[in-house]
Chains A and B, each alone.
Chain A
């Protein structure tokens, strides 16, 4: 087990390095730097600025300086938000994005699997049809269509929920963003869960369990779920990636001060350090998640040896 985890972590290091290098190079290849203004700065001042941010050194040296700082957890100063370091920006945005992301993934996992299992058990009934058609809506309506419609309907017409703002993380402000973020994932997960549960229900070991005279609810709880949840576990990492990108949009629409918003602003303004900082953060989160899913799968599926 420990060997497996160390091996996985060792693979993760080059992956991260590639990601860091990619972000680093791409942002510097881009035409126009963070200090390109309409009015040109006097050359001395520009030189001073470049020196302060190490921009005058050769690229490889800048890269090494960056990696060295990263290894002690320092993402460097933000180029655009003058008085902030990237660490401070990330720390200020993280609670918002983490609250959104975690609650969405928990809600979509539980609700999605729950609906999927019931739809599979009650296959070809009205419950099944309605779950599947609602989930089709969830798949076809992207979050950037769903979010404005939700805020138009609940915020403006009904006036029961606030349309935007963070408001210290109050639950009322969170309902709409979390709904917009989780609906597509609930849709996908419930469809996957339905398909895999149907497959498991038709398999031999379930027939054996039934012929032993076990109660149906017991079989589903003890035998079916354990097998049918496997594809969902594998979907966890792509789902989180989807949530990360979804949160960029949702934060934009609902005016939430999260990391996703910093990323878009940073990319548009060529704030190199901020963009690579956010990218590295997201990539590391995904890598950790993939590791967790591998471990979970091994725990749930006796056929997988690690």
Chain B
């Protein structure tokens, strides 16, 4: 009985004392005003992109020939105007946001998945395997990767699911490099030595010890990669190689807008602003996370 009480006390004192790395990081992140505001903006844009279209009377592909090129107005319900087919711009921007954001997130996860596995294997096993694997990365770095994506999109048709994979497949290189570097410094640490002495297999060490300790840099890198993926998708859509009509993304809207900006400036400015604001928020959050998780760097 007395023993039990003692451990209770022990637990109490631990829970008072312990402030984990993550709690610390969160506190630092929430002190960063720019990051917090950006986080709210990003959440707001995601929510209106997902739920907004349900509350707008127009569908994203409804054409209305009686109201083409309507400038933004509050009276007729086209708050951001209409395009050359009389489609409501606001609902198209929100729909485009769904697509651009989901491509950003999914393609990022594809590339993080490839990059983390590749990087940990190269860094953990080292030696000739590492040299070879990193040589491959170096060769791929020397390739004008966007040109590859363009060729891939041409070859496999303008399939939107393929777009996820094509973007993810070219963006993993930097991730692999970062992860490899971190793994090399991690694998010499005592706790890895301990688990090896305990007879744990390499796979288990990688999964249970290496990857969780890489979480910091990975999270930071994810927030900085999502914007670059969104830009990449828009770039492809701008060239007519990405998302196809009647589906839309911010890149498609910007591309249409830039062709018609002389008659209808709103078609360029509004989709452009949505995209720029999103990219800026993601960048601020990424910077904030980096300062929070790894305060040495700036």
A residues in contact (CB < 8 Å) with B: 14-15, 18-19, 22-23, 26-27, 29-31, 136, 139-142, 144-145, 147-149, 152, 156, 195, 198, 237, 241, 244-245, 248-249, 252-253, 263-264, 267-268, 270, 275, 278-279, 282-283, 286-287, 290
The chain A residue sitting closest to B174, CB to CB, is A238
5 extra A-B contacts, CB within 8 A, seeds A148-B261, A267-B151 = A142-B231, A264-B239, A268-B154, A268-B241, A283-B143
Report the Cα distance A145→B255, complex, angstroms.
Answer: 9
Q: Is the CB of B235 within 8 A of A286?
A: no
A143: nearest chain-B partner, CB-CB = B235
Q: Are B255 and A144 in contact (CB under 8 A)?
A: yes
B214 interfacial contact with A, CB 8 Å: no
Kindly identify which residue among A14, A30, A244 contacts B144, using a CB–CB cutoff of 8 Å: A244
Binary flags per residue of B258-275, CB closer than 8 Å to A gives 1, else 0: 100110010011001001
Q: Within the assembled complex, what's the spacing in Å between the Cα atoms of A128 and B152?
A: 42
A-B contact count (CB 8 A): 108
> Are B139 and A18 touching (Cβ within 8 A)?
yes
What 10 A-B pairs come out closest when comparing CB atoms? A148-B258, A245-B146, A30-B155, A140-B280, A140-B279, A282-B144, A145-B272, A15-B139, A144-B238, A142-B231
> Interface majority SS on A: helix, strand, loop or mixed?
helix
Taking a contact as CB atoms under 8 Å apart, the answer to whether A252 and B283 are in contact is no
Q: Which of B147, B234, B240, B261 contacts A263 (CB 8 A)?
A: B147
In contact, A140 and B151 (Cβ under 8 angstroms): no
| Cα A18 to Cα B143 with chains together (Å) | 10
Q: Which of B254, B268, B280 is the one whose CB lies under 8 Å from A152?
A: B268
Q: Interface code B233-260, partner A: CB below 8 Å = 1, 0 otherwise? A: 0110011110000000001001101100
Given contacts A26-B151, A253-B258, contact A145 B143 (CB under 8 A): no
The chain A residue with its CB closest to the CB of B254 is A145
B298 at the interface (CB under 8 A from A): yes
Asked whether A27 lies within 8 Å of B155 as measured between CB atoms, the reply is yes
Q: Which residue of B lies closest to A146 (CB)?
A: B272
Q: Which of A14, A148, A264 has most B Cβ within 10 Å?
A: A148
A252 touches which one: B227, B239, B257 (CB < 8 A)? B239
B12 within 8 A of A: no
Contacts of B152 in A (CB 8 A): 26
Name the residue among B142, B145, B272 with the largest chain A CB count within 10 angstroms: B142
Q: Categorize the interface residue count of chain B.
A: 35 or more
CA distance A110 to B251 in the complex (A): 31
**Interface presence of B215 (CB below 8 A):** no
17 contacts between A and B (CB under 8 A): A23-B151, A26-B151, A27-B155, A140-B276, A141-B272, A142-B231, A142-B275, A144-B258, A145-B268, A148-B254, A148-B261, A152-B265, A237-B142, A245-B146, A267-B150, A268-B240, A282-B144
- Complex contact A275–B151 (CB within 8 A): yes
Q: Which residues of B contact A149 (CB under 8 A)?
A: 268-269, 272
Contact A144 B298 (CB under 8 A): no
Query: Cα distance A136–B281 when bound, in Å?
Result: 11
Asked, given contacts A144-B254, A148-B261, whether A245 binds B144 with beta carbons under 8 Å apart, the answer is yes
- Please name the residue on chain A nearest to B145 by beta carbon: A241
A30 to B155, CA, bound (A): 4
Within 8 A of A (CB), among B214-235: 227, 231, 234-235
- Distance to closest chain B CB from A269 (angstroms): 9
Say yes or no: B150 contacts A241, CB within 8 Å.
no
A197 to B298 alpha-carbon distance, docked (Å): 12
Is B157 in contact with chain A by the CB < 8 A criterion? Answer: yes
A195-B298 contact in complex given A136-B280, A279-B147, C-beta closer than 8 Å: yes
Assess whether A245 is in contact with B155, with CB atoms less than 8 Å apart.
Answer: no
- Closest residue of chain A to B297 (Cβ to Cβ) is A195
Cross-chain contact B276 with A152 (CB below 8 angstroms):
no
Contacts of A18 in B (CB 8 A): 139
A26–B152 alpha-carbon span in the complex (Å): 7
Q: In the complex, A285→B265 CA distance in Å?
A: 38
Q: Are A142 and B234 in contact (CB under 8 A)?
A: yes
| B139, A270: Cβ atoms closer than 8 Å | no
Residues of B contacting A264 with CB < 8 Å?
150, 239
Q: A136-B283, A148-B261 are in contact. Are A142 and B150 (CB under 8 A)?
A: no
Residues of B within 8 A of A30 (CB): 154-155
